[in-house]
Amino acid sequence: MPSDKGSSGHGGQHFGKVMTGAEIFVRSLIEEEVEVVFGYPGGATIGVYDALHDISNIKHVLTRHEQGATHAAEGYAKATGKPGVALVTSGPGATNTVTGIADAFMDSIPLVVFTGQVPLRLIGNDAFQEADIVGITRPITKHNYLVRDVKELAKTIKEAFFLATSGRPGPVLVDLPKDVMAQKTKFEYPREATVRSYAPTVDGHQKQIKKAAEVINTAIRPVLYVGGGTILSDAAGELTAFARHLRCPVTTTLHGLGAFPETDPLSMGMLGMHGTWYSNMAVNYCDVLIAVGARFDDRVTGDVERFAPEAKVIHIDIDPAAISKNVQVDVPIVGDVKRVLSRLTEHVTPLDTADWLATIEQWKREHPLRYRTGEKIRAQHVIHKLGELTGGDAIVVTDVGQHQMWAAQFFNFAHPRTHITSGGLGTMGFSLPAAMGAAFGRADLPVVSISGDGGFQMNAQELTTIVEHRLPVKILVINNGFLGMVRQWQELFWRRRYSHVELANPDFVKLAEAHGCPGIKVTRADEVEDALRRALERKDGPVLLEFVVEKEDNVYPMVPAGQSVHEMIDTPEPVEERQAGSVPIMTLEKGNNVQQRSTNTEHTPVTANVQQT
Amino acid sequence: MSSRRSAPTEEKREKRHTISILVENKFGAFNRIAGLFAAKGYNIDSMSVGPTEDEEISRMTVVTRGDDQIIEQITKQLNKLIDTIKVVDLTFDSFVERELVLAKVSSTPETRPEIMQIAEIFRAKVVDISPRTLTLEATGSQQKVDAIIKMLKPFTIRELARTGRVALKREFQGEV
């Protein structure tokens, strides 16, 4: 059977036919090879939904809330690299997408959001279910459109997909008035979008690349600081080759996780507020910092004045506005990471970093990521075990808060597009719908949603959608009965005044069962592995695991907000347990195997025994 | 090395810049630019917009203040907007600038000649007259407009309207 897809293929048979705006909309999505649309119908989109009714090659997923639709589209986009598509109605349907759009804007996720709108003649009249969504989303979209004429529709959709996916990707919104969608015109879908004045620079400037190579070739203590732009550019392979060729240690941002295998000895894991002790130290003492598709976010730099104080900074980014926004850089290269890195690799020679790597190894041994184990479950242990059981071959979709940081620290990401989270906006309630979107896009890998008890309840309604589609999402609820990260800050910086952070929760297992999803409650550390195994084995539908964990545990290391590595708090030594000498501590060094050590191991504080040049 | 990451002091000094922006003459384009200044917290001293020789393109002239890093960010962020065709910071070039002001000044038969004398000196025009007021129209550089306002103040300015600055880059006239 020939498919009804492809801009150069069978779509052509519809070109020249007179159709309604609604039919043109559907045909245009087919031309864009859209496979899945996450949406929710309403009065203003009823015509569009009518046109969608007979189309078999676009799967429409009816989410239970429009916010869920946008996060699902984000998860789909992050997991597949293709644009995510959402379709909602006017007014409240449109305003419910705002959080998802803002999230996609902060994290550069290609999204095309179609919103219904009241008929043109009613716009501005405070009509039923009217909202100025173009005005509302102007500062949180890469671009947005109100389609005023059906003749503009196909061209606008083409442009929307082009803008969302090219350059620095981002969300684009197209507002569709009801009457425009009922008007008729000849359908022609443009082959290419042409947007005057929009031409992202993809090839880095040759002169800048050479300049960067000169700086790199003299480096003694280089560090690669890798961000999400590397994954967006599909450049994980180039980055890995570059780092190994250079023998340069690598640290990634939250969104950079997966761009470089954390099992590689050159990996230092994540940097920043809750990054590894050694990655932050390495950045502090490095003489050349190569920032790749990263944006010097405040959660990474802390006090910018004291960030990488010794280093010459090279910054590769496709967005000129990201350069010298937060941190003055020495050699900027505007371009696509994939292309720039492969050209840069030709100009750099392997460095003698043996001494530097040895220093980092020592830091790794002395300040590994670690957590205590005991009878009670630690969230870190759950994630650590999940990483071991899957060997990194899973898509992990996290929410926001403590579990998010622990997942970043302890899963050990090995592949691009396997770590999906809300980094920039920090949207609680992201994980469950985003995991659903990822599961629609990637049937080849297990998809694991990890949320806290707070975040899970923010979009729990999407459990219905997941069950309806029998998606094998493993839903992990890390239940500590607290809004843990806020509680941690209150404990550390607000004199333990726990203001409104304790949560009264439903019975999560019963809640899952009410949705038709099996639920397992896990309360003992020695049950964790077995529960995870059972969840991973289930292929024909979701399963919810509730882990009742230590109520008051903290994420370490921690660089307090706005401070520098000099104020970094490493994981405190468990004094009472050291005396007992019996409770084992699990440790994890990035680029090394898991070790178990007893608590009475001596710790020698590392002084900055780095050669200063 | 504590201030390694920030710009040298000279570059940190706040300066006034005149930025000329060509934008698509589309629904909402002006809003995008005004909104960008508001959202990012950039200063706006004045902002003017109008059509150009090409009906599909509008020109906006924005007078803003900031140190070198902020001005660099402003031009980059403006360029990032899809509707923006061209952004030129005229401050680095030789350029002609004009602003128009309408000033309604209280006047009595006694003060009228004096006000008209001031108008003449500034090559301003009287565009409206009533028993108690004179309305003047003046154009010129911002300094000139500031100066005439200062001169008219003692007579009591009842109402004032300024257009904000419009500017164009000067062309090279050939070697002398």
Task: Give the right CATH number for B95-169 from 3.65.10.10, 3.30.70.1350, 3.30.1330.10, 3.30.70.1150.
Answer: 3.30.70.1150
CB pairs under 8 A between A and B: 62
Q: Do B58 and B32 meet the contact criterion of CB atoms below 8 Å apart?
A: no
A161: domain range? 10-186
For A401, the token pair is 């808060």
pLDDT over 50 (residue A605):
no
Same domain for A294 and A210? yes
Q: Do A217 and A45 meet the contact criterion of CB atoms below 8 Å apart?
A: no
Structure confidence at residue B79 (pLDDT): 95
Exactly one of A78, A142, A158, A178 is catalytic; name it: A178
Residue B9 at interface with chain A, using a CB cutoff of 8 Å: no
Active site residue A74: no
Residue A137 makes CB contacts below 8 A (sequence gap 6+) with: A98, A101, A144, A173
Using pLDDT thresholds of 50, 70 and 90, give the confidence band for residue A389.
very high
Residue B28 at interface with chain A, using a CB cutoff of 8 Å: yes
More confident: B9 or A535: A535
- What are the boundaries of each domain within chain B? 13-92, 95-169
From the list B5, B69, B85, the residue facing A196 with the nearest CB is B85
Alpha-carbon distance B167 to nearest alpha carbon in chain A (angstroms): 21
**Residues of chain B contacting residue A327, judged by C-beta atoms under 8 Å apart:** 5
Q: Do A293 and A252 meet the contact criterion of CB atoms below 8 Å apart?
A: no
CB contact under 8 A, A197 and B85: yes
Active site residue A183: no
From the list A163, A304, A321, the residue facing B73 with the nearest CB is A321
Tell me which chain B residue has its CA closest to the CA of residue A330. Answer: B5
Residue A155 at interface with chain B, using a CB cutoff of 8 Å: no
Using pLDDT thresholds of 50, 70 and 90, give the confidence band for residue A582.
low
Same domain for A473 and A550? yes
Using pLDDT thresholds of 50, 70 and 90, give the confidence band for residue A537.
very high
- What's the rounded mean pLDDT across residues A535-562? 95
Give the global pTM. 0.92
Exactly one of A23, A31, A32, A66 is catalytic; name it: A66
Same fold, B13-92 and B95-169: yes
Per the prediction, chain A carries an average pLDDT of 93
More confident: A430 or A607: A430
Q: What is the CATH number of the domain that holds A120?
A: 3.40.50.970
Same domain for A212 and A235? yes
Q: Is position A589 within any domain?
A: no
Exactly one of A485, A558, A568, A586 is catalytic; name it: A485
Structure confidence at residue A197 (pLDDT): 84
Same domain for A90 and A232? no
pLDDT over 80 (residue A11):
no
- What's the rounded mean pLDDT across residues A309-337? 95
Interface of B with A in 67-106 (CB under 8 A): 69, 72-73, 76-77, 79-80, 82-86
Domain boundary among A508, A530, A556: A556
Q: Is position A572 within any domain?
A: no
Q: Is position A433 within any domain?
A: yes
CB contact under 8 A, B24 and A196: yes
By three-state DSSP, how is residue A557 classified? coil
Give me the DSSP letters along B94-119. -EEEEEEEEEEEE--TTTHHHHHHHH
Count the domains in chain A: 3
Digit-coded pLDDT (tens) for A205-214: 999 999 999 9
Residue B57 at interface with chain A, using a CB cutoff of 8 Å: no
Using pLDDT thresholds of 50, 70 and 90, give the confidence band for residue B7.
low
Residue B4 at interface with chain A, using a CB cutoff of 8 Å: yes
Exactly one of A129, A183, A362, A461 is catalytic; name it: A129
State which amino acid sits at residue A464.
T
Same domain for A514 and A539? yes
Tell me which chain B residue has its CA closest to the CA of residue A134. Answer: B28
pLDDT over 70 (residue A2):
no
ipTM of the complex: 0.85
Q: Do A144 and A102 meet the contact criterion of CB atoms below 8 Å apart?
A: no
Q: Is position A34 within any domain?
A: yes
Q: Is position A338 within any domain?
A: yes
CB contact under 8 A, A305 and B31: no
Residue A580 at interface with chain B, using a CB cutoff of 8 Å: no
Structure confidence at residue A613 (pLDDT): 33
CB contact under 8 A, B82 and A163: yes
Alpha-carbon distance A172 to nearest alpha carbon in chain B (angstroms): 11
Alpha-carbon distance A273 to nearest alpha carbon in chain B (angstroms): 19
- What's the rounded mean pLDDT across residues A579-595? 67
Tokens 């005057």, residue located: A196
Residue B176 at interface with chain A, using a CB cutoff of 8 Å: no
CA angle A540, A545, A551 (to 5 degrees): 165
Percent composition of chain A: helix, strand, coil (DSSP 3-state, to 5): 40, 20, 45
State which amino acid sits at residue A47.
G
Same domain for A96 and A214? no
Ranges A446-455, A492-501, A594-603: which has the least confidence: A594-603
Q: Is position A601 within any domain?
A: no
**Residues of chain A contacting residue B72, judged by C-beta atoms under 8 Å apart:** 324
Active site residue A129: yes
**Residues of chain A contacting residue B31, judged by C-beta atoms under 8 Å apart:** 135, 138
Measured between alpha carbons, how far is A347 from A341 in angstroms, rounded to an integer? 10
pLDDT over 50 (residue B100):
yes
Same domain for A270 and A361? yes
CB contact under 8 A, A135 and B69: no
Active site residue A178: yes
CB contact under 8 A, A307 and B5: yes
Alpha-carbon distance B97 to nearest alpha carbon in chain A (angstroms): 26
The H or E element that residue A582 is part of is none
By three-state DSSP, how is residue A166 classified? coil
Residue B150 at interface with chain A, using a CB cutoff of 8 Å: no
CATH topology for the B13-92 domain:
Alpha-Beta Plaits (3.30.70)
A511-529 per-residue burial string, b: 16 or more CB within 10 A, e: under 16: bbeebebbbbbbeebeebb
Same domain for A36 and A113? yes
From the list B5, B31, B85, the residue facing A327 with the nearest CB is B5
Structure confidence at residue B6 (pLDDT): 62
Alpha-carbon distance B7 to nearest alpha carbon in chain A (angstroms): 7
- What's the rounded mean pLDDT across residues A123-151? 97
CB contact under 8 A, B32 and A320: no
Structure confidence at residue A590 (pLDDT): 86
- What's the rounded mean pLDDT across residues A32-52? 98
Same domain for A32 and A170? yes
Structure confidence at residue A216 (pLDDT): 98
By three-state DSSP, how is residue A36 classified? strand
State which amino acid sits at residue A330.
D
Measured between alpha carbons, how far is A374 from A524 in angstroms, rounded to an integer? 9
Tell me what percent of the residues of chain B surpass a pLDDT of 90.
78
Same domain for A406 and A527? yes
Q: Is position A612 within any domain?
A: no
Q: Is position A266 within any domain?
A: yes
Digit-coded pLDDT (tens) for B46-58: 999 999 999 999 9
Tell me which chain B residue has its CA closest to the CA of residue A160. Answer: B82
Tell me what percent of the residues of chain A surpass a pLDDT of 70.
93
Query: Is the dihedral angle over the CA atoms B145, B151, B154, B157 positive or is it negative?
Result: negative
**Residues of chain A contacting residue B35, judged by C-beta atoms under 8 Å apart:** 138-139
Active site residue A66: yes
Domain boundary among A157, A186, A215: A186
Digit-coded pLDDT (tens) for A154-203: 999 999 999 999 999 999 999 999 999 999 999 999 999 989 889 999 99
Domain boundary among A365, A394, A413: A365
Structure confidence at residue A596 (pLDDT): 47
**Residues of chain A contacting residue B76, judged by C-beta atoms under 8 Å apart:** 320-321, 323
Digit-coded pLDDT (tens) for A49-105: 999 998 999 999 999 999 999 999 999 999 999 999 999 999 999 999 999 999 999
Query: Is the dihedral angle over the CA atoms A136, A141, A143, A145 positive or is it negative?
Result: negative
CB contact under 8 A, B73 and A306: no
Same domain for A529 and A403? yes
Tell me which chain A residue has its CA closest to the CA of residue B85. Answer: A197
Residue of A143, A166, A197 for testing the chain B interface, max B β-carbons within 10 Å: A197
Residue A300 at interface with chain B, using a CB cutoff of 8 Å: no
Ranges A495-499, A558-562, A608-612, B118-122: which has the least confidence: A608-612
Same domain for A159 and A214? no
Residue A321 at interface with chain B, using a CB cutoff of 8 Å: yes
- What's the rounded mean pLDDT across residues B170-175? 82
